[in-house]
Structure 1
Amino acid sequence: MILLLLFALAPHIQIVSGNDAMVTYRELVPLRVALDPASRTFHYKGCPEARANEEWVSPAAAKLRGYKEHSCASARQNEYVTNSESRVPRDRAHIAVLFVGNSLTYFNEMPRMTSAIGAHEPRPLLVDSVTQSGASLEDLWFRTDALKRIWQEHWDYVILQERGGRAAMERGELFHQYLMMFAEQVRKSGATPLLFMTWYPGNEKFFRSAAARATVGLLPVGLAWKRDFDWDGTHPDLFGSYLIACTVYSMIYGKPALGVRIDFRDLANRNEFYDVPLLKQSMNEEQAKAIQLAAWKAVKNR
């Protein structure tokens, strides 16, 4: 079924309904425009001057080819397709975790690192992620398939991460709004929402309040963060990502991550800048234990 809406800031996914077995959602169809070689302009679907037999491409491709937006742009429409599908059955042999965030999450393959350190538990971790560079929770709501991913499988935990630094505090009510919207969908899907507390001086009180207001658990990464854990002034280095992974482990299993894996070079993608710390840095047992205990202390004191 196709649904046309007047153009506006439109979420990529809209959940229509869901239960333990099924989910129905609307998914935004990628925007296409019709090229008019005579006028060197492009028309959106819904424009009276658009012709079905014209070449249809993405707006970005049209602009790269030198075409200009036609004045009928106000007539453009969002197009949705409605899908219903069965949810992946619940896997009670594992603990399933979904990260929803940005580069602070995907740097150093942190989700896979988390999976690796929980691999030998009686109920090992199954971890996946939906990430977008520089994204806020609002961006993740509108521009990714995070909502669909939350509902397609039966996650035990969904970890929600806002931009780093002062971003959450500066975004204020917008941050709270999308945190609560995500948390509501996570709970409806049957999972437990956790708020990723990022690292920045003064973050602690704000994140505690935000977690309480949204009735979500607090993943207290920022409580254990050390200034020298960043790689480039923003992103975590190997030790920072390991701290995040150990904090997740302790939050889920209720114990320190003592004796878990500390070498993750095999996870690195050598062609990606965000995995450089995995290849250039190393960690010894003493350093790892200090991080494991710091993560556990943060979880106990959250």
Structure 2
Amino acid sequence: MKTMTIRLLAASLFALVLNSAQAYEAPKVTQTTPSVPKSGIFIGNSFFYYNNSMHGHLRNFLNAADPKLPFRGTSVTISGAGLDWHNVEAYFAPNAIGRYSFIANNEVRFNKNDKLFDIAIMMDCSQCPVHPQLKSVFTEYVKKHGDTIRKNGADPILFMSWAYADKPEMTETLADAYIKAGNENNMMVIPAGIAFANSIAGRKDIDLYVKDKRHPSLAGTYLAAAVTYASLFKKSPIDNSYTAGLDPEVAKYLQTVAWNTVKDFYKLP
């Protein structure tokens, strides 16, 4: 227990050191609209869909915190995709995504939603926001898709992806690119990439990556989902009973890193 406390303290302190040492802009948007979203779409690539999809882990965090809190999540991902690969307008077409679902006894229920999605969470390809040939495309499509999402009554949100395991310097450049794009387009940013760096600084023994050093392990997806939960709902994931099958001590550590990162990023009390 003593060792665990020391590790958690180290991670907490590092979160503060990392964010103050690197000159990130302060995020202008710190809250979703509505403040408690009831539905959302994840638009991205394999970083989202690994480990049975991040949106499913988010729903599990929510179910564990409050089973009565409704949240309908949908993931639309393309392997290797940049934002320019996605036809976001089509994702809001009537009688398309979310038109029906299956309930008990394999019965089809046709959904009648007043609004298809409250929020839309977007992530570009892992290098696109900082790649010399693609960063202008990132900037272009954040605005283009953001306009489309708002036109359809949803709140666009950016998901800050993480550095490769063998290229930790990507953390700073990706964070800078996502925060600048978020501020220029009045979008909230989810600081998953910063949380990855904070977790590694505190405990290198928890591997957040699979063998390719890019895609998330189960622990990596769990951490990203915990950051997403904390960012969207401004609630601590610490002591949430959902562990995704991870060792309880590991889950508690990742929950704590997620909450410390989110509090520092949005300057929460």
Q: Per the shorter chain, which TM-score range?
A: 0.5 to 0.7
Higher helix share: 2
Per-residue Cα deviation, 1:57-83 (whole angstroms, up to 9, x for no partner): xxxxxxxxxxxxxxxxxxxxxxxxxxx
Task: Give 5+ residue unaligned stretches, structure 1.
Answer: 1-92, 265-281
**Alignment match, 1:159:** 121
Out of 216, 236, 239, the residue aligned to residue 219 of structure 2 is 239
Higher-Rg structure is 1
What amino acid maps onto 2:122 in structure 1? L
Q: Does 1:133 align with 2:79?
A: yes
Secondary structure (helix, strand or coil) at the match of 1:193 reads strand
RCO greater where, 1 or 2, for CA within 8 Å and sep 6 or more? Answer: 2
Change (3 A) 1:108 1:196: same
% identical aligned pairs: 27
Alignment partners' CA distance in 1, 2:37 and 2:183 = 28
Deviation at 1:160, TM superposition (A): 0.3
**Is this contact kept in 1: 2:37–2:118, CA < 8 A?**
no
Mapped to 2, the partners of 1:151 and 1:183 lie a distance apart of 20
C-alpha contact (below 8 Å) 2:195/2:261 kept by paired residues: yes
| Higher share of residues assigned strand | 1
- Structure 1: how far apart are the matches of 2:263 and 2:149? 24
Q: Deviations over 1:167-216 (max 9, x none)?
A: 21111111111111111122222221110101122222221111111211
CA distance in 2 between partners of 1:139 and 1:183 (Å): 15
Superposition deviation, residue 150 in structure 1: 7.9
Offset of residue 283 of structure 1: 1.5
Report the 3-state secondary structure (helix = DSSP H, G, I; strand = E; otherwise coil) of the residue aligned with 1:167. Answer: coil
Q: TM-score, normalised by structure 1?
A: 0.58
Q: Distance in 2 between matches of 1:183 and 1:292?
A: 30
CA distance in 2, matches of 1:252, 1:176: 23
Report the counterpart of residue 145 of structure 2 in structure 1.
Answer: 182
Q: Secondary structure at the match of 2:254?
A: helix
Contact 1:103 1:131 in 2 (8 A): yes
**Structure 1 residues 186 and 261: alpha-carbon distance in aligned structure 2, compared to 1, 3 A threshold:** farther
Please show how residues 76-225 of structure 1 align to structure 2 within 5 Å.
95-109=38-52, 110-119=54-63, 120-121=65-66, 122-141=68-87, 145-148=90-93, 153-164=115-126, 166-170=127-131, 171-200=134-163, 201=170, 202=172, 203-225=174-196
Letter in 2 for 1:299: V
Q: Which amino acid aligns with 1:168?
A: P
Q: How does 1:278-289 map to 2 (within 5 A)?
A: 282-289=245-252
Superposed displacement of residue 263, structure 1: 4.5
Letter in 1 for 2:138: F
Contact 1:150 1:186 in 2 (8 A): no
What count of residue pairs does the alignment treat as equivalent? 192
User: Which residue identity does 1:218 align to in structure 2?
Assistant: V
RMSD of equivalent CA atoms: 2.5
Stretches of structure 2 lacking an aligned partner (at least 5 in a row): 1-35, 100-114, 164-169, 201-206
Deviation track 1:123-179 (CA, whole Å, cap 9, x = no partner) reads 23221111111010000138x943436897432221001011x32111111111111
Partner of 1:277 in structure 2?
none
The residue type equivalent to 1:123 in the other structure is: L
CA 1:286/1:151 → structure 2, altered by over 3 Å: closer, same or farther? closer
